[in-house]
Amino acid sequence: MSYLFTSESVSEGHPDKIADQISDALIDNFLAFDADSKVACETLVTTGQVILAGEVKSTTYLDVQQIARDVIKKIGYTKSEYMFEANSCGILSAIHEQSQDINQGVDRSSKEEQGAGDQGMMFGYATNETENYMPLALDLSHTLLQELAILRRENKEITYLRPDAKSQVTLEYSDDNKPVRIDAIVISTQHDDFDEEAKMLAKIKKDLVDILIPRIIAKYPQYAHLFNDKIEYHINPTGKFVIGGPHGDTGLTGRKIIVDTYGGKGAHGGGAFSGKDPSKVDRSAAYATRHIAKNLVAAGVADEILVQVSYAIGVAQPMGIYINTYGTAKVGKTDSEIAKIVEGLFDMRPYFIEQRLKLRNPIYSETAAYGHMGRKPETVTKTFRSPNGEEKTVTVDLFTWEKLDFVDKVKAAFAL
């Protein structure tokens, strides 16, 4: 029997995502000037206010206020009527030094024996239902909002958009677990004020269905067959959405962990990513398990794979690796046998994850909106400036955990 599955996404202007982006901008600036920085930074945003809190061990000093303002400006909160504006919002910093009790469990005389920054379990997932090995409903949800943000910045075809937005896509799957069509699309977008609410709602719905959706179909032809004239559209279903962003809803770092990962497919260990340096396995091991799952699926080990790894704080070697292929394995081995081979291919000690995926670089701002997984690996040059006038230009690899650089090794190990 066919079934429905739904995933959601949020825009870069959503309050929780503003918080994530500020936290990750701080991470990048710390790592740019001191690659050994240990940082756990949380952000809260509300009407006219940003509050920064967390723990840091670093040799560098940052102008955290200016970094936060630059992020807010880049997102698009540049007008006073938003009640949250880059130049005028208040910013309070309560960042302090990292506890030595925690740091002693991470730093070792031998870098290779670096301990995990916390206990916990992390999951990575991949499926071959999309070209980037991501769940389709989430991929579409992200894509809708990325294109909506492009329309907002162009300010030509649609001129009333504000930064805050959410999307949701419901797919119908066939008996053999293949997506066959889009059943429903929900989009709520913040907008400028209109004189008449009824006309406003009608115009927004018409614009999104007649402008946004055709752009998606044209830009992403691999999804075109999923669109149909029976899709149920819910566009701003509550009505007026003028009050939004941090003025409409307080935002916090780490409150969109399902949007950040797999949209409800697979599993999640509960740990957020943004604001954490890579010694925190909540982040680094989640990237590493995604890297494993994607390379296994791309190599043809299975159609769908979930990878779990777990750690004890201060201990380098993981507690164990678990694999679930959901009955789709193609290599004549049990999931536990696959897990044993994976243990020999991928060193999951924290230091080796950092080295393999080049995680001690300022690469995190780009992850903080529209998902940490399923993104395109690329090399970029970034420039950072410190309060004392020092300028640092670095060339870094983004989304290294999305590279298919272990496919040949996986095929050799499984005789594919």
Cα-based angle 372, 208, 201 (whole degrees, multiple of 5): 120
Say how many domains are in the chain: 2
CATH number of the domain at 192, please: 3.30.300.10
* Residues 226 and 157 placed together within one structural domain of the fold: yes
* Residues 368 and 284 placed together within one structural domain of the fold: yes
Known binder of ligand: residue 272? yes
Calculate the average pLDDT of the chain.
Answer: 95
Is 25 among the domain residues? no
* Residues 124 and 140 placed together within one structural domain of the fold: no
Is 219 among the domain residues? yes
Known binder of ligand: residue 280? yes
Known binder of ligand: residue 42? yes
Known binder of ligand: residue 282? no
Known binder of ligand: residue 55? yes
What is residue 104's predicted lDDT score, i.e. its pLDDT? 56
Is 193 among the domain residues? yes
Known binder of ligand: residue 166? yes
> In the sheet that 3-10 helps form, which strands lie side by side, from edge to edge?
3-10, 161-173, 179-191, 232-235
Query: Residue 404 to residues 116, 250, 258, 331, 338: CA-CA distances in angstroms?
Result: 25, 38, 23, 19, 18
Are 74 and 115 contacting, i.e. CB atoms less than 8 angstroms apart? no
Known binder of ligand: residue 337? no
* Residues 311 and 370 placed together within one structural domain of the fold: yes
Query: Residue 158 to residues 93, 204, 272, 395: CA-CA distances in angstroms?
Result: 37, 9, 34, 36
Query: Residue 271 to residues 173, 253, 286: CA-CA distances in angstroms?
Result: 29, 11, 9
Are 28 and 362 contacting, i.e. CB atoms less than 8 angstroms apart? yes
Is 111 among the domain residues? no
What is residue 118's predicted lDDT score, i.e. its pLDDT? 84
* Residues 237 and 306 placed together within one structural domain of the fold: no
| Pairwise CA distance, residues 133 & 400, whole Å | 15
What is residue 73's predicted lDDT score, i.e. its pLDDT? 98
pLDDT digits (tens, 9 = 90+) for 4-61: 999 999 999 999 999 999 999 999 999 999 999 999 999 999 999 999 999 999 999 9
Q: Which tokens is 251 given?
A: 């935002």
Known binder of ligand: residue 153? no
Known binder of ligand: residue 33? no
Final residue of a structural domain among 218, 244, 270: 244
Known binder of ligand: residue 256? yes
Range of the domain at 199: 3-9+136-244
Cα-based angle 147, 151, 157 (whole degrees, multiple of 5): 135
Q: Which amino acid is at 55?
A: E
Q: Which amino acid is at 145?
A: L
Is 266 among the domain residues? no
Known binder of ligand: residue 288? no
Distance of alpha carbon 191 from its chain centroid, rounded? Answer: 25
Closest among 359, 400, 362, 358 to 384, alpha carbons compared = 362
What is residue 59's predicted lDDT score, i.e. its pLDDT? 93
Final residue of a structural domain among 244, 265, 300: 244
Q: Give every residue of the chain whose pLDDT is below 70, as ranges.
A: 99-110
Closest among 334, 335, 314, 341 to 412, alpha carbons compared = 341
Is 24 among the domain residues? no
Known binder of ligand: residue 165? yes
Final residue of a structural domain among 194, 224, 244: 244
Sequence length of the chain is 416
* Residues 148 and 228 placed together within one structural domain of the fold: yes
What is residue 107's predicted lDDT score, i.e. its pLDDT? 61
pTM: 0.96
Known binder of ligand: residue 255? yes
Q: Name the helix (H) or strand (E) containing 43.
A: strand 38-46
Write a three-state SS string for 76-131.
CCCCHHHCCCCCCCEEEEEEEECCHHHHCCCCCCCHHHCCECCCEEEEEEEECCCC
pLDDT digits (tens, 9 = 90+) for 349-402: 999 999 999 999 999 999 999 999 999 999 999 999 999 889 999 999 999 999
* Residues 294 and 382 placed together within one structural domain of the fold: yes
* Sole residue written with tokens 């950040």: 260
* Residues 303 and 348 placed together within one structural domain of the fold: yes
Known binder of ligand: residue 276? yes
Known binder of ligand: residue 101? no
Q: Which tokens is 257 given?
A: 């962990």
Known binder of ligand: residue 312? no
What is residue 116's predicted lDDT score, i.e. its pLDDT? 87
* Residues 219 and 293 placed together within one structural domain of the fold: no
Is 234 among the domain residues? yes
Is 27 among the domain residues? no
Closest among 232, 260, 237, 258 to 170, alpha carbons compared = 232
| Pairwise CA distance, residues 321 & 230, whole Å | 43
* Residues 282 and 391 placed together within one structural domain of the fold: yes
Q: Name the helix (H) or strand (E) containing 233.
A: strand 232-235
Q: Which tokens is 197 given?
A: 């609410």
* Residues 198 and 319 placed together within one structural domain of the fold: no
* Residues 203 and 161 placed together within one structural domain of the fold: yes
